Structure 1
Amino acid sequence: MKVYKTSEIKNIALLGSKGSGKTTLAEAMLYECGVIKRRGNVESGNTVSDYFPVEKEYGYSVFSTIFYAEFLGKKLNVIDCPGADDFVGNAITALNVTDTGVILIDAQYGVEVGTQNIFRTTASLKKPVIFALNQLDGEKADYDNVIEQMTEIFGPKVTPIQYPINVGPGFNAMIDVLLMKKYSWGPDGGVPTIEEIPAEEHDRARELHQKLVEAAAENDETLMEKFFDQGHLTEDEMREGIRKGLVDRSIFPVFCVSALKDMGVRRMMEFLGNVVPFVEDMPAPVDTEGEEVKPDSDGPLSLFMFKTTIEPHIGEVSYFKVMSGTLTPGVDLTNVDRGSKERIAQVFCVCGQIKTPVDKLCAGDIGATVKLKDARTGNTLDEKGCEYRFDFIKYPAPKYQRAVRPVTEADAEKLSEILTRMHEEDPTWEVQQSKELKQTILSGQGEFHLRTLKWRVENNDKLPIIFEEPRIPYRETITKAARADYRHKKQSGGAGQFGEVHLIIEPYTEGMPAPDTYKFGNQEFKMNVRDTQEIPLEWGGKLVVCNCIVGGAIDARFIPAIVKGLMDRMEQGPLTGSYARDVRVCIYDGKMHPVDSNEISFRLAGRNAFSEAFRNANPKILEPVYDVDVFVPADVMGDVMSDLQGRRAIIMGMASENGFEKISARVPLKEMSSYSTALSSITGGRSSFTMKFSSYELVPSDVQEKLLKAYAESQSEE
């Protein structure tokens, strides 16, 4: 295989909503480049993409697939990404290591929520975008309506390069307004017939051609001057203007294809080969020190590991982008994230599950290697003397959680190893061993996301597992002041135990004044604060302890033991065993014994006094509440609102955003457990949502009663 220079490499992400036809388009692209001799199809499970067993089982993409095509003397590295919102992590990874996004839109359904989500990601990463209208041969295809919708949502930068002459099952021809030619195909697609534009299409073609020329000229002052002088540009000048416009995101070209029938695919690939930016045309990535790292083949060697998979008959495969330098097999590198050494024994170019050995990869290229010892997704490998480190991929917060455990408890360690490996393959699968909830919590982007993981664990690793509703991390607090005292006394021959603690507790808020006087019934307690200890809690909030002991009633050496007793109860609240927070404790009196007092005595006395006071301080349970933004089509907005209100949501606002309605609400985490599934059901999969932790709020009294009853029953069972 030819060694491609950085100036000959283009990296492209193939994006779009579920069902838009990306895998089918990838097959047509590979066929047009001669990489495959026969196009596979999704139904038969014989495509270059979607080669993992779980993908064949479910019939949709789960992982991104990397392939390359040698075309027009250039190397096109393409990453075909899953379309389902649940697997958005793959698309985010791909966009971070490629330079141009090709977004497919199903001409039958137009711009979907998933399309908008992907477009937002390209905007945040400042990546060029090309749109491809696919399935123009579909029964419901409507080109003009979709272009109008795209212009409304993505703005006037949407610029058709082509338009179809007839849309629907009879689609077989289109006008290319860049080349000003008519393309038509036979029933089986493939090689087009290229002709002059028919007379009846001249006016429309000239109008769109003029708009394209203007859009190209706007991106270059020299071209703009020539356009004003001559009124037209040559084909090469237009290509240069469009390339600059792509880099600046000032033009979004639109192509017409039928991926299934291989119509328009080769023409789009010619545009990818001739017009879209090369690696070196794009802004250089920045390392963790804020320094630009240009893709210089003569620079120090640095690899960014962006993907890891476990593949049949191979084992672990590590995919990387050459950020700088030139990679050859046999080189020794340092993992700057983990401090370990790695030898890159073999270097491959990848086409799905086909790995082709190569002798060299230059800066900007994408490749793979196998059997690395310690490299993980997101790691940087550098040659000696190079200190680059990259950490530029940011994934969305998870939206769906389940507690997971093996059917057989003895398999717990094996499951932990499998889940760690799964996280390496898809970082949006997150695993947490929750000490608080006493569960292993698995988080992901949706129900399908976690269901896919479950299928793989049970079918690939032969380990049966159980998904359960995760417990909610409630918090306990108090709403008024209360007083209690407790004497711990134990005598069983020899040295005994004795400790007595008197304390007052009250709700704590940041910046509240120091305690002065408390009144309970007819009794008044005046505080003389000797010192104050603020303890920030790992789970949020604070415990504030004021030492108000006078006259040496309790020796200062026992105060730390009392604080430990208080923390025992803060870690396991008296109401439901949840963490407690935001409490101020004033230790104001007590008693000691000259012989029997010790640390354990005062720890137990402090713990029990705190428990009694807590129960008398009108305790309340707090629940986590999340800010939720839901993006829905207008026709189902009422149904989505009703569902949210049934989940104890507080609607904070509504707005229209790029053709969709946005509902902002605050929703208790307890009510979000199955929301991704419910939303998909209500809207037919046409919606999406984001959620972010907001605060802890008091639960309603009826909910608190249920929680207290459930906790009491669980304790009696134990």
Structure 2
Amino acid sequence: MKVYDSHDIKNIALLGNDGSGKTTLTEALLYESGLIKRRGRITMKNTVSDYFPVEQDYGYSVFSTIFHVEWNNKKLNIIDCPGSDDFVGAALTALNVTDTAILLINGQYGPEVGTQNHFRYTEKLQKPVIFLLNQLDSELCDYNNIVEQLQGIYGPKALPVQYPVKTGPDFNSLIDVILMKKLTWGEEGGQPTIEDIPAEEMERAQEMHKALVEAAAENDENLMEKFFETEQLTEDEMREGIRKGMATRSIFPIFCVCAYKNMGVGRLMEFLGNVVPFVDEMPAVHNTRGEEVLLNPNGPTSVYFFKTGVEPHIGEVQYFKVMSGTLKEGDELTNSDRGTKERIAQIFTCAGAQRDKVEKMLAGDIGCTVKLKDVRTGNTLNGANCENRFNWIKYPEPKYIRAIKAVNESDTEKMMQAIQRMRLEDPTWIIEQSKELRQTLVKGQGEFHLRTLKWRLENLDKISVEFYEQKIPYRETITKPAKGDYRHKKQSGGAGQFGEVHLIVEPYHEGMPDPTSYNFGGQEIRVNIKGKEEIPLEWGGKLVFINSVVGGAIDTRFMPAILKGIMSRMEQGPLTGSYARDVRVVVFDGKMHPVDSNEISFTLAGRNAFSQAFRDAGPKVLEPIYDVEVFTPVEAMGDVMSDLQGRRGMIIGMVDENGYQKLSAKVPLKEMSNYSTTLSSLTGGRASFIMKFASYELIPTDLQKKLIDEFSKQNEEDA
């Protein structure tokens, strides 16, 4: 295959809601370019995208598909991304390594929550955007209303460059206001008949053409001067102005296609090839040191690996972008993240599962390779005298968590290895062995996300697994001072065990002064600090441990043992077995035996004295509270709000955001277990949400009693 110069390469992310037609559009693009001889169908399971078994079985995209088309001596690298919000990681990855985003819109529904989510990502990354209206042959399609919605959301920057003469089953023609021509297709689509614009459409076409010319002129001083003089631009001048406007995000062109009938696809490719910015026209990226890395084919070689695929009979397929220099077969490179050497044996350009071998790739190009020894997603390989690393991609927090276990316990290690391997393909799958909860947790972006993981484990790795509810990481604390003491005494022949500890516990908060005295039942206990330790706890909060023993009642050498006993109880709180936090402990008295006292004796005495005092100190259970933001259609807002309130959520704000409502709330983690499924049901899949840990707050008294009773009952059963 031909090697393309950087100035002939364009990298494009194809985004859109589920059902918008991305896979069908991909087939049409590949067919128009001649890369495939026949368009595949999703129902036939023979498309270039969605070629993994799980995608064919479920009928929706799970992984991004990288492919390219060649058009007029230009190479367009396109990444087709899953539409479901559950697989947002693929979209974020694609946007970080491409330069332009196509937001595909279902003509039946217009802009959806997913459209706005994707646009928000492009805004954060400052990527050019094309709005592409699909399914114009649907009876429900209302082109004028969709354009009105887009302009209402994104302002006058959203500019039509085409419009359909009519929509619905009879759709077959567009008015193109760049070409100022009418394009008409036969039943099979493909190449259109190009005609003059009919008289009845001329006024509308001229009005839209003028708006486009004016917007294009605003992005170039020379074009602006010409526009002021003539109020006209040539077709090439319009393209140049639109390209510059796209690069600065001052123009968002609105295009039209009917991908299923292959109408408008060739014209879209012309626009992508002629107008979309080339890779060398976009701003330079920066490495992790903040240094600018120029897209220079003659510079030092630096290659960023952004995706790993695992395929039968091949193993790992590593996808990369050449950030600078030229990558050649046989190159010896250094992994800047892992310190290892790698040899690039083969280089391929991508078209889904089909790959074509090339000898080299220049800066800006996207390709893949196989049989690397030690490369992981996110790694950078460098040539001599180059030490670049890249770390742009920030993935969202998990929104759906389940505990997981292998049905056959002997498969546990195999299951963990399989999930870690799957994380190479999708970093938003997270596996964690929780010491606190004594569960293995798998985290993702939604129910579909984890259902896909389960499908792959059971169908590809042949590991039967079960999902069940995660335990909630509660915390225990106290609300008032209390005193406790415990004597551990054991005699069984020979040396025995003896240790006695008297201590005080009280709530701790940052900045509180050291204690001087306490009063319990009229008895004053003075504090004479001999030693103090502040211990930040892994799970949040602190334990402050004070030695106030006088007169040698407990030897200083036993203090670490007492602290060890207290820490063991902090790790398994007396109320629910959860971590305890924010406690100050003052050991003020005790007894020891010259022969029988040892570390184990004082560990047990400290543990039990702490438990006794903790229970008398107004103990409370804290639960994790999350900040939740829900983006929902206006018509579903009432149902969404009622559901959140039914989950003990506190609504703290409502904002109209580009035609959708953003609800902000604080909700206990306990109540978010099945939220993604419920939200999808309430809104017909048209809403999305994000959640992030906020704080620990006191749990309601009735729920605390229930938790304590359940824990006590469990302990009795275990005993």
TM-score by length of 2: 0.99
After the TM superposition, which residues 556-595 of structure 1 pair with which residues of structure 2 at under 5 Å, given as runs?
556-595=556-595
The AA in structure 2 aligned to 1:312 is P
Q: Distance in 2 between matches of 1:566 and 1:286?
A: 49
What is aligned with 2:547? 547
Instruction: Give the aligned partner of residue 312 of structure 1.
Output: 312
Q: How many Å apart are 1:334 and its aligned residue?
A: 1.4
In the alignment, the residues of structure 1 paired with residue 464 and residue 146 of structure 2 have an alpha-carbon distance, to the nearest angstrom, of 46
* Structure 1 counterpart of 2:404, one-letter code: V
Instruction: Name the counterpart of 2:295.
Output: 295
Q: Deviations over 1:643-665 (max 9, x none)?
A: 11111111111111110011111
CA distance in 2, matches of 1:353, 1:486: 69
In 2, distance between residues paired with 1:159 and 1:476? Answer: 57
Residues 71-470 of structure 1: pairs in structure 2 closer than 5 A: 71-470=71-470
Provide the rounded CA distance (Å) in 2 between the counterparts of 1:704 and 1:456: 39
Q: Identity of paired residues, percent?
A: 68
Q: Which residue of 1 aligns with 2:53?
A: 53
Residue by residue over 1:424-467, the C-alpha shift from the partner in whole angstroms, topping out at 9 and shown as x without a partner, is 11001111111111111101010000001101110011111001
Q: What SS does the aligned partner of 1:296 have?
A: coil
In the TM superposition, what are the counterparts of 1:510-529 in structure 2 within 5 Å?
Answer: 510-529=510-529
- Which residue of the partner structure matches residue 607 of structure 1? 607
Q: Which stretch has the larger CA shift, 592-601 or 566-575?
A: 592-601
State the one-letter code of the partner of 2:73. Answer: G
- Match of 2:167, as an amino acid? V
Q: Any idea what SS the aligned residue of 2:385 has? A: coil
What's the CA shift for 1:717?
Answer: 2.4
Q: Deviations over 1:134-184 (max 9, x none)?
A: 001101000000001011111210010001110111111111001111101
Secondary structure of the corresponding residue to residue 174 of structure 2: strand
What SS does structure 1 have at the residue aligned with 2:480? coil
Distance 2:329 2:578 in 1: 55
Deviation string for 1:657-711 (max 9, x for gaps)?
A: 1100111110000000000000000110010011010000111111112211221
Compute the displacement of 1:629 (Å).
0.6
1:272-331: per-residue Cα shift (whole Å, max 9, x none)? 001101111011111100011111111111111111111122111111111111111121
**Distance in 2 (alpha carbons) for counterparts of 1:204 and 1:654:** 39
| AA in 1 matched with 2:50 | D
The amino acid across from 2:520 in the alignment is F
Question: Equivalent residue for 1:698?
Answer: 698
Output the amino acid matched with 2:656: S
Check if 1:672 corresponds to 2:672.
yes
Q: What amino acid is aligned across from residue 415 of structure 1 in structure 2?
A: M
Listed as ranges, the gaps of 5+ residues in structure 2 are: none
After superposition, give the CA deviation of every residue in 1:498-526 in whole Å (9 maximum; x if it has no partner). 21111100111111121122221122212
* Aligned equivalents of 2:142, 2:364: Cα separation in 1: 39
Which is worse superposed, 122-131 or 231-240? 231-240
The 3-state SS of whatever aligns with 1:43 is helix
Distance 2:261 2:674 in 1: 39
Residue 67 (structure 2) aligns with = 67
Partner Cα separation in structure 1 for residue 551 and residue 314 of structure 2:
75
CA displacement at 1:50 relative to structure 2: 0.4
- The 5 A counterparts of 1:20-35 are 20-35=20-35
2:691 equivalent to 1:688? no
Q: For residues 487 and 297 of structure 2, what CA distance do their matches in structure 1 show?
A: 76
What number of residue pairs does the alignment pair up?
718
**Alignment deviations for residues 614-653 of structure 1 (CA, whole Å, 9 cap, x no partner):** 1111111111000001111111111111111111111111
Shift of 1:545: 1.0
**Whole-Å separation in 1 of the counterparts to 2:308 and 2:202:** 51
In 2, distance between residues paired with 1:530 and 1:576? 33
CA distance in 2, matches of 1:155, 1:500: 75
Q: Aligned to 1:423, what secondary structure does the other structure show? A: helix
Which SS does the other structure have where 2:285 is aligned? coil
Matched to 1:411, the amino acid is D
Q: Distance in 1 between matches of 2:417 and 2:686?
A: 36
Q: What letter matches 1:370 in structure 2?
A: V
Name the CA distance, whole Å, in 2 between partners of 1:226 and 1:548.
87
Q: Which amino acid aligns with 1:355?
A: R
Give the aligned residue type for 1:558. Answer: F
CA distance in 2, matches of 1:711, 1:424: 38
Compute the TM-score of the two structures, normalised by the length of structure 1. 0.99
CA distance in 1, matches of 2:341, 2:604: 51
2:407 maps to a residue whose letter is V
Q: Distance in 1 between matches of 2:714 and 2:322?
A: 56
Amino acid paired to 1:349: T
For 1:129, give the aligned amino acid: V
Three-state SS of the structure 1 residue aligned to 2:286 is coil
User: 1-side partners of 2:164 and 2:305: how far apart?
Assistant: 41
What SS does the aligned partner of 2:259 have? Answer: coil
CA drift at 1:488: 1.4
Structure 1, unmatched stretches of 5+, are none
How far apart in 1 are the matches of 2:448 and 2:143? 31
Alpha-carbon distance in structure 1 between the residues aligned to 2:555 and 2:222: 86
- Structure 1 distance, partners of 2:612, 2:276, is 71
The amino acid of 1:455's aligned partner reads W
* Cα shift readout 1:534-565 (whole Å, capped 9, x = no counterpart): 10000000001122122222222221111111
1:364 aligned partner, one-letter code: G
CA distance in 2, matches of 1:557, 1:229: 92
**What's the CA shift for 1:493?**
2.3
> Could you tell me how far 1:529 is from its partner in structure 2?
2.1
Instruction: Return the letter of the residue paired with 1:85.
Output: D
Q: CA deviation at 1:62?
A: 0.6
**Counterpart of 2:531?**
531
Aligned to 2:646: 646
Q: Name the SS of the counterpart of 1:307 in structure 2.
A: strand
Cα displacement (A) at 1:269: 0.6
Q: Kindly state the Cα deviation for residue 533 of structure 1 after the two structures are TM-superposed.
A: 1.2
Q: Secondary structure at the match of 2:261?
A: coil
Which residue of the partner structure matches residue 637 of structure 1? 637
Letter of the structure 1 residue corresponding to residue 549 of structure 2 = I
Secondary structure (helix, strand or coil) at the match of 2:204 reads: helix
What is the one-letter code of the residue matched to 1:406?
A: A
1:335-381 deviation line (CA, Å, top 9, x unaligned) = 11111221111111110100111111111101111121111111111
